[in-house]
Amino acid sequence: MTVYLNGQFMPIDEARIPVLDRGFIFGDGVYEVIPVYSRFAFRLAEHLRRLQYSLDGIRLTNPHSDQEWTELISDLIERNTAEDQYLYLHITRGVAKRDHAFPNPAVQPTVFMMSNPLFTPPAALLTSGVGAISAPDNRWLNCDIKAISLLPNVLLRQMAIDAGCAETILIRDDNFMTEGSASNIFLVKNGVLLAPPKDNLMLPGITYDVLLEIAVANSIPYEVRKIAKEEIFIADELLLTSSTKEVLAITTLDNKPVGDGKPGVMFAKLHKHYQDYKRDVMRKT
Ligand code: PDD
């Protein structure tokens, strides 16, 4: 696997960062995950816009223009063999003597990128759906920043795994659902797709936007509004979205079936439209 680190492409085994990197010491950095279909980065402009938003959120100057990112990213895609890849971009505040305050004067940020083959969920998982648990959302108040400091998300995801499930659906103290530990969550009730509104408590998912665009384009009724905890337990369907999972049905919640316990009609529709969209937009050649 060829990766990019601070201006150079190299085999992953040769990529090294100093132990005083603020990403390592403080988790002081941001990241992006970008799917690549047929060697084209999906919604690159939107991912780069979100990256800029995250960098602004942690007051770190973007080390590259969008043009430079685009060139580096196409170079990385070319140097890796899979047709479908997922790209990981990671920028930290750089290497400096350990001090919580920003290095002054600022130091060069660390820029790391890697690509892995993208395996979207297999047919069996699309047919069965996945299990989820619910848990209090105990993260910070800037979940709209795609920060590399992911310890709460890691612990919340592991809770799901320990319970034999795939995802943890998060509920804030105000009783409203935010998102999953590494995905956005949608509900379906009486044929209407329900999405929580974007705010500082959730990551504005690129796949979330695609799903709502698909709903508009196909006259699927939808509402963007706050979703109370109680509603997720009486939903007809629950869906999760992310760049690597695309859209998946959640068929159990806290060990109880969601709806009839099978992926529902809304899931089938949205998944099909998502695949059509991907094919039409990304695989034109
Ligand atoms: N995570 N919410 C959280 C907390 C996430 O970590 C992610 C994605 C999403 C979905 O965003 P998008 O549709 O843009 O992928 C929502 C990525 C895949 C990850 O951390 O690996």
Q: Which long-range contacts (CB under 8 A, 24 or more apart) does 272-276 make?
A: 273/214, 273/217, 273/218, 274/210, 274/211, 274/214, 274/246, 274/247
Residue found under tokens 């795994």: 161
Specify the domain boundaries for CATH 3.20.10.10 within the chain: 123-284
Identify which of 114, 118, 177, 183 to mutate to test ligand 1's pocket (most ligand atoms within 8 A of the CB). Answer: 183
Give DSSP secondary structure letters for 247-258: EEEEEEETTEES
Q: How many CB atoms lie within 10 A of CB 206?
A: 22
Closest CA to 44 of 83, 20, 77, 21: 77
Which segments in the chain show pLDDT lower than 50?
285
Buried residues in 227-237 as b, exposed as e (16+ CB within 10 A): beeeebeebbb
Specify the domain boundaries for CATH 3.30.470.10 within the chain: 2-117
Residues 248, 253, 255, 259, CA torsion sign = negative
- Put simply, whether the predicted model's pTM sits higher than 0.95 gets the answer yes
Element (H, E) at 172: none
CATH 3.90.76.10 fits 123-284, yes or no: no
| Atom nearest to 210 CA in ligand 1 | 13
CA 71 to ligand 1 center in whole angstroms? 24
CATH architecture of 2-117: 2-Layer Sandwich (3.30)
Residue found under tokens 């937009």: 281
| Atom nearest to 208 CA in ligand 1 | 13
pLDDT tens per residue across span 186-199: 999 999 999 999 99
CA 129 to ligand 1 center in whole angstroms? 18
pLDDT in the model for residue 285: 46
pLDDT tens per residue across span 106-152: 999 999 999 999 999 999 999 999 999 999 999 999 999 999 999 99
CA distance to 176, 196, 203, 241, 252, per residue, from 141 (Å): 14, 16, 11, 21, 28
DSSP state of 235: -
Q: Is 146 a catalytic residue?
A: yes
